[in-house]
């Protein structure tokens, strides 16, 4: 898979796959819209500085998807060993029915003390917010943002102060560890309730402000998508037409304040 600089000619398929750093000849002029929204002019060859990701080449004759892959997998310094873990199955007694980032931190620290230097996990990308939860980590709604099911509630801002109020939810979550199968829908409901509680008491801080500034429009659009998904349910193809595109009249705007108020989550 992939292509290199020796390839030439216009695209013959709706998808081109290139390695990072490739200056392959495309034989076309147009513009390349990068995954992060930036646009680079194309003058016959792949422009310099195109990062790995899913991009779109636009010309007078149409559009072509351009997938740029890393040139090589990062190599560890010398021979080493480590684990491949499915995080959702890496549960501990403190888990709320699913392995979380706290479990991953403990696994990593324990493995490092034993000499491990590699820890491979499944994709942590976000599914559509709602029930039923998508069980496969390989079928995300967003690759850029993370799955809230993997949050360790005890590590969240304000969790220590809300300790007594969170205890019933924590007990219910830990009771889910008894089942051999992971009940993602139950985990989603419990963690959503916990996050609602913490958010209602959160006054904001500089770290959140910096995160919002850094992520910018992409975060606003994803937050809008989540509100619409909670309100209308399912994927965007089921929504009213005016909400199906981020630049449409129904979903445009600088915030989600003008959107329909989503129903309260099931308690």
Delimit the domains of the chain by residue range: 15-69, 82-201
Between strands 39-45 and 15-19, the pairing is unpaired
> What is the full per-residue pLDDT of the chain (267 aa) written as tens digits?
333 334 344 444 578 899 988 888 877 889 999 988 889 999 888 888 899 999 999 998 888 899 999 988 877 778 899 999 999 999 999 999 999 999 999 999 999 999 999 999 999 999 999 999 999 999 999 888 999 999 999 999 999 999 999 999 999 999 999 999 999 999 999 999 999 999 999 999 999 999 999 988 889 989 999 999 999 988 888 899 888 887 776 666 534 454 444 444 433
Q: Give residue 85's pLDDT.
A: 96
Asked whether the beta carbons of 104 and 87 are under 8 A apart, the reply is: yes
Give me the pLDDT at residue 250, please: 67
Identify the three-state secondary structure at position 242. helix
Q: Report the candidate in 224, 218, 222, 264 with the shortest Cα–Cα distance to residue 243.
A: 224
Residue 223 half-sphere exposure toward CB, CA atoms < 13 A: 14
pTM for the model:
0.73
Inter-residue contact 129 to 146 (CB < 8 Å): no
């Amino acid at each position: 898979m992939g292509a290199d600089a020796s390839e030439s000619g216009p695209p013959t398929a709706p998808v081109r796959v290139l390695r990072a750093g490739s200056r392959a000849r495309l034989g076309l002029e147009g513009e390349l819209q990068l995954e992060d929204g930036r646009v680079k002019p194309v003058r016959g060859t792949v422009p310099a500085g195109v990062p790995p990701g899913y991009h779109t080449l636009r010309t007078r004759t149409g559009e072509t998807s351009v997938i740029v892959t890393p040139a090589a997998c990062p190599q560890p310094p010398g021979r080493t060993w480590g684990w491949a873990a499915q995080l959702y199955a890496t549960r501990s007694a403190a888990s709320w029915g699913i392995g979380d980032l706290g479990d991953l931190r403990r696994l990593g620290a324990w493995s490092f003390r034993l000499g491990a230097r590699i820890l491979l996990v499944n994709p942590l990308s976000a599914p559509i917010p709602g029930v039923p939860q998508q069980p496969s980590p390989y079928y995300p709604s967003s690759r850029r943002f993370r799955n809230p099911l993997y949050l360790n509630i005890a590590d969240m801002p304000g969790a220590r102060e809300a300790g007594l109020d969170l205890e019933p939810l924590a007990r219910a979550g830990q009771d889910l560890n008894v089942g051999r199968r992971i009940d993602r829908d139950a985990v989603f409901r419990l963690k959503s309730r916990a996050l609602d509680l913490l958010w209602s008491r959160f006054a904001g801080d500089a770290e959140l402000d910096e995160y919002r500034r850094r992520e910018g429009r992409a975060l606003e659009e994803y937050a809008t998508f989540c509100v619409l998904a909670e309100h209308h349910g399912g994927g965007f193809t089921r929504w009213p037409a005016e909400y199906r595109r981020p630049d449409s009249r129904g979903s445009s705007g600088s915030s989600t304040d003008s959107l329909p108020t989503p129903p309260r989550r099931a308690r």
